[in-house]
Amino acid sequence: MEDSRERIVILIDGPNFYNIARIMAIRVDYLKLINILTTERRVVAKTIFCKLPHSNSIRCFHRKLKRKYHLKVICGQYIDQDIDYLLQEEIEYFSNRDDVDTIVLIAGDGGYFDNLNHAHQDHQKKIEVYAIKEVLNHDYFGNGFKLIDLRELRPFIAEDILSRKKRIGPTGKKRHTNHRKNENQQPSRRLRKKQRSF
């Protein structure tokens, strides 16, 4: 049976999305975000574009994006390189594919308009842009694009605070790993064996 679901490509501008998340004062749960975007749709590709990592923490974050969220991570060739051209090339690539119906751009800005307009006008692709609308230029409006303000999704894509519950005790206070042992507590079997050997 042929799959009749809409076929989409998800492209994420990593640095822009990070800045928007800071503005919204949240840590993004990418799994929630992807689930919102892919409801009753078939994902052809999902890619995030990032700058070249310059620390171990960023490298760990990139590994998390790959392993936990199954995102393809594309980085620039050197630190602080502008990654816009990489994303523009990817838009052009998927514009020419027949197995893609919709291009979804997350945290895009005005720099991608020409590529998206070309995909929409010349290749009849549907375009969805998730961003803060104030950063988009006027060309994006009234051009047949579907524009969604990311602030509307804020409650639905924020990382769940309860994911850190391992550090919280039943009373709501932080658990302390260095508990003082009860003075009446029996010594361990190994310690008793040592004491007998003396």
In SS3 terms, 62-108 reads as HHHHHHCCCCEEEECCCCCCCCHHHHHHHHHHHHCCCCCCEEEEECC
Query: Of the candidates 37, 34, 43, which has an alpha carbon nearest to the alpha carbon of residue 94?
Result: 43
The pLDDT tens digits for 30-57 are: 999 999 999 899 999 999 999 888 889 8
Kindly report each contact of residues 135-141 with a partner whose C-beta sits within 8 Å and lies 24 or more positions away, as own/partner.
135/109, 135/110, 136/108, 136/109, 136/110, 137/110, 137/113, 139/110, 139/113, 140/110, 140/113
Check whether 59 has a pLDDT greater than 60: yes
pLDDT in tens, 88-145: 999 999 999 999 999 999 987 767 888 999 999 999 999 999 988 887 777 777 778 8
Cβ contacts of 57 within 8 Å, gap of 6 or more: none
In a domain, 186, yes or no: no
CATH code at position 85:
3.40.50.1010
- Average per-residue pLDDT in the chain? 82
Interatomic CA distance for residues 119 and 31, integer angstroms:
27
193 is a domain residue: no
Per the domain annotation, does 35 fall within a domain?
yes
Interior angle at CA 125, CA 82 and CA 32, nearest 5? 65
Shortest CA distance to 102 belongs to which of 124, 119, 125, 121? 125
Residue 183 — very low, low, confident or very high, per pLDDT cuts 50/70/90? low
Domain that holds residue 56: 6-165
Residue 192: inside a domain:
no
Q: Is residue 182 part of a domain?
A: no
Provide the number of structural domains found in the chain: 1
Q: What is the pTM of this model?
A: 0.77
Assigned domain for 117 exists:
yes
Answer yes or no: is 172 within a domain.
no
pLDDT at 4: 86
Please report whether residue 187 resides in a domain.
no
What is the arithmetic mean of pLDDT over 153-179? 60
